[in-house]
Amino acid sequence: MTRWIAVDWGTSTLRATLMPDRETRASGKGMGVLAPGAFEAALLELVGDWIEGPTRIVACGMVGARQGWAEAPYAALPAKPLGAGLTRVATQDARLDVRIVPGLKQTAPHPDVMRGEETQIAGILAEKPDFDGIACLPGTHTKWAHLSAGEVISFRTVMTGELFATLSTHTVLRHSLTGDGWEEAPFLEAVSDALSRPETLAARLFELRAADLLYGQDAAIARSILSGLLIGAELAATRPWWLGRDVVITGSERTTRAYDAALRAQGLIPKLLPAEAMTLAGLTAAKDLP
């Protein structure tokens, strides 16, 4: 089988997998720290020794953004997740045959974009070709995508991961959210609170600081409550997406566990498909596209 390289190139991380061996390497040279002219060198620095002759490289993620290596214009919905084909990139090293998976965009009912998650969705559909339901891809920017007949019908982005990271790093709450503990009981209680009374969310945040100042509330409890409030608010906003639907969750292990617990508490039994494997399956499906 021909060697090729699957690349997941996001804002903060460059992750390359040599196929079919599945050896994986990663570096911190994400799109966020690279000028457009620096992508080829960053790739060769990481995997130059894998290039033994003409080699196809299939990449997804922010590498295809306007500020990336080369812009891969968004495909408009409804669309197959890889329906727009790949964008070829000119390289200085003639052995490299680099192709980027375009993201998806939607203009109605609300503006939204994704880059990278379309590849995970392609992986989910490679795994379950007849899946009709909702793909929940939790992360920095969680995506909820409605999949039917092999197409993405619509999607919705919620910034839950970035909100949690920002609140616990850059606001007064940071003093009360130290460590990385997490406990399921206060998490689920906060999810339930946010779902049943979403209008109270804005007033719940400062309680985490006050409870620390007044009676030394444990930071792991506070983190679990904040996580529950934010995921609960996300589930409140996306209720029409998941209520009574088949849901697949594709995320990192820890994040998937939280979303799975939150949705199970609402009576759903999501299917879980790991994110890295779905990215690889999606890039594999993309490899031979024109």
- Please report whether residue 289 would count as binding its own copies according to CB under 8 A: no
Interface residues for its own copies in 224-253 (CB under 8 A)? 230, 233-234, 236-239
Binding of its own copies by 198 (CB under 8 A): yes
Task: Tell the smallest beta-carbon distance from residue 148 to its own copies (Å).
Answer: 20
Q: x/- site string to its own copies, residues 90 to 129, per CB under 8 A?
A: ---------------x-x--xxxx----------------
Q: Does 170 bind its own copies (CB under 8 A)?
A: yes
Number of residues interacting with its own copies: please give it, by CB under 8 A: 44
The answer to whether residue 201 forms part of the interface with its own copies (CB under 8 A) is: yes
Cβ-based nearer residue to its own copies, 98 or 194? 194
Give dist(CA 138, CA 226) in Å, integer.
16
**What is the amino acid identity at position 106?**
Q
CA 117-26-152 angle, 5° bins: 10
What's the rounded Cα separation, in Å, for the pair 7 and 119? 11
**Which residue, 22 or 110, has its beta carbon nearer to its own copies?**
110
- How big is the CA angle at 259 (ends 178 and 256), to the nearest 5 degrees? 85
Q: Of the two residues 148 and 171, which places its CB atom closer to its own copies in the complex?
A: 171
Check residue 216 for interaction with its own copies (CB under 8 A).
Answer: no
Choose between 57 and 114: whose C-beta lies nearer to its own copies: 114
Residues contributing to the site for its own copies (CB under 8 A)? 105, 107, 110-113, 141, 156-160, 162-163, 166-167, 169-173, 198-207, 209-211, 213-215, 230, 233-234, 236-239
